[in-house]
């Protein structure tokens, strides 16, 4: 962040995750190291090789308790996840839900809520079958708003009367991380006081099918769902698909202090870049130089040295790339195995929630920062031999970190895109 830029803090958190809905339950699941991965009958029915996933539970009941009947008729799964997480972040930030009949939107508050794939559940269950059957008319009025990429941010803007920029970003698996970096930038520029930022991804076999066909999902743990997501392990055999939403209320420090808001953490710095499918990068693999530049760019923006990082929340999906990623962190931070910060993969607990991953994992990062702990990074008892020297940095059982001050979080996505955030503890 440049010297003159405005400081940005986190004043609200909201989450819908496979191992817990709401920040309180999710926080407890993190502490315990509870897995949210389950057997999914539909994946077997569709002859997936991988038949386990991280799908949030009980969301329809929560949605029915919070949204009007006509709204629910137009809210597919990613809308429900995003709306619930945004409403929780809004209330956590100390705001009341606006009156539906209020005349004025909040011109100073906007949203950047991303998705990797979008309303594929609506496309698969309604748009394609009805269109192919010659029954276009029966799509009714609600299909466009559920399949348009910006549907989730548009939905939330109506629920919360947001009057600043409202948009949806999409950058594959770095989407959620990128949304937070973009929202922080808008506040730093003085263009908004508050931005609800994060990502949402539905639980749908239509979304997961292509990944199964690519053979990047773990097909070897169908009989042991909670053991299936194995980042950093020698037995990692692909990622486990997941779903959910995470939303952070970002706010200018000035606005937060002026209204006496409770501050969870500071967004100290961020960076976004792309490897351009060069130097070893491709549609599906990261250019190592771009990863290093992104991490170092976020550190420079934060004014933080690599030696000051206490905890890494990695991208770490449980593919062949994990050892490369740990090596990239080591290079970028200038920290070898004997001096390496604690490193966790939240995906070991919730799977890879695609466009929501960076957002859910950022909520987890802020909770760890506030609580002074690292959640257990499970299922890597057999740490991968290429990173055996880093084993001490992995909290297999969870770890108290009373002096935790700085967390770095990165997301890397198909398309060779990267985003990185530095969160710092807020000392009131």
Partner 1 sequence: MDQAEVMERVVKILTPWVKNEEALASVSMDTNILEDLKVNSARLVDVVIAFEDDFDIEIADEDVDSVNKVGDAVKLILEKLG
Q: 399: Cβ–Cβ under 8 A, 6 or more apart, which residues?
A: 342, 373, 374
**To 10 degrees, what angle do helices 357-371 and 23-32 make?**
70
Which residue, 67 or 423, has its beta carbon nearer to partner 1? Answer: 67
Structural tokens at position 76: 């597919």
Q: Choose the catalytic residue: 205, 352, 375, 384.
A: 352
* b/e burial code for range 187-199 (CB count within 10 A of at least 16 → b): bbeeebbbbbbbb
Taking the alpha carbons of 344, 399, 269, 115 in that order, is the dihedral positive or negative? Answer: positive
Interatomic CA distance for residues 366 and 316, integer angstroms: 18
Cβ 248 vs Cβ 197: under 8 Å: yes
Q: Kindly tell me which of 126 and 264 has the beta carbon lying closer to partner 1.
A: 126
Catalytic annotation on 324?
no
Q: DSSP of 328-365, one letter per residue?
A: HHHHHHT--GGGPPEEE-THHHH-B-GGGHHHHHHHHH
Q: Which residue's CB is nearer to partner 1, number 30 or number 160?
A: 160
Residue of 50, 173, 274, 420 marked catalytic: 173
Nearest distance, CB of residue 139 and partner 1, angstroms: 9
| Least distance between partner 1 and beta carbon 74 (Å) | 8
> Smallest distance, Å, CB 326 to partner 1?
51
Q: Which of 11, 15, 4 is nearest to 266 (CA)?
A: 11
Residues in touch with partner 1 (CB under 8 A)? 69-70, 73, 137-138, 140-142
Q: C-beta of 99: minimal distance to partner 1 in Å?
A: 13
CB nearer to partner 1: pick between 69 and 104: 69
Nearer to partner 1, 150 or 177 (CB): 150
DSSP secondary structure letter of residue 271: E
As measured in angstroms, the least distance from the Cβ of 158 to partner 1 is 11
* Cβ-contact 329, 315 below 8 angstroms: no
Out of 315, 375, 380, 420, the active site residue is 315
Q: Which residue bears the tokens 């490897």? A: 275
Q: Is 264 a catalytic residue?
A: no
- Our answer to whether residue 315 is catalytic in this structure is yes
Catalytically active residues, by annotation: 173, 315, 352
């Amino acid at each position: 962040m440049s010297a003159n830029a405005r400081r940005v803090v986190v004043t609200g958190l909201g989450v819908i995750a496979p191992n817990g809905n709401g920040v309180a339950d999710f926080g407890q699941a993190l502490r315990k190291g509870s897995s949210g991965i389950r057997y999914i009958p539909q994946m077997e029915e569709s002859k997936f090789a991988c038949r386990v996933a991280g799908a949030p539970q009980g969301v329809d009941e929560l949605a029915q308790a919070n949204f009007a009947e006509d709204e629910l008729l137009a809210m597919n799964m990613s809308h429900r996840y995003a709306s619930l997480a945004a409403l929780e972040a809004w209330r956590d930030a100390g705001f009341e839900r606006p009156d539906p009949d209020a005349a004025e939107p909040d011109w100073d508050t906007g949203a950047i809520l991303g998705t990797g794939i979008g309303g594929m559940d609506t496309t698969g269950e309604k748009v394609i079958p009805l269109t192919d059957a010659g029954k276009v008319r029966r799509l009714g009025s609600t299909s466009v708003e559920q399949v348009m990429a910006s549907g989730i941010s548009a939905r939330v803007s109506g629920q919360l009367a947001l009057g600043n920029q409202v948009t949806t970003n999409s950058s594959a698996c770095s989407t959620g991380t990128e949304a937070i970096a973009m929202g922080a930038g808008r506040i730093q520029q003085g263009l908004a006081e508050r931005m609800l930022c994060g990502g949402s991804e539905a639980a749908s076999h239509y979304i997961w099918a292509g990944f199964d066909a690519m053979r990047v999902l773990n097909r070897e743990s169908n009989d042991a769902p909670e053991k299936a997501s194995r980042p950093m392990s020698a037995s990692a055999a692909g990622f486990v698909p997941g779903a959910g939403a995470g939303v952070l209320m970002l706010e200018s420090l000035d606005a937060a202090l002026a209204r006496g808001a409770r501050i969870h953490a500071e967004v100290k710095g961020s960076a976004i870049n792309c490897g351009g499918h060069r130097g070893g990068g491709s549609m599906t693999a990261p250019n190592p130089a771009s990863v290093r530049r992104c991490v170092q760019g976020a550190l420079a923006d934060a004014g933080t040295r690599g030696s000051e990082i206490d905890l890494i929340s990695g991208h770490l999906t449980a593919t062949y790339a994990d050892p490369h990623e740990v090596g990239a962190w080591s290079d970028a931070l200038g920290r070898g195995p004997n001096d390496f910060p604690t490193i966790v993969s939240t995906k070991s607990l919730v799977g890879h929630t695609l466009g929501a991953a960076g957002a859910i994992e950022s909520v987890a990062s802020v909770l760890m920062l506030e609580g002074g702990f690292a959640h257990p990074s499970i299922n890597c008892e057999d740490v991968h031999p290429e990173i055996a020297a880093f084993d001490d940095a992995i909290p297999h059982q969870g770890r108290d970190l009373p002096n935790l001050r700085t967390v770095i979080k990165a997301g890397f996505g198909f398309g060779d895109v990267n985003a990185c955030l530095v969160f710092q503890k807020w000392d009131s």
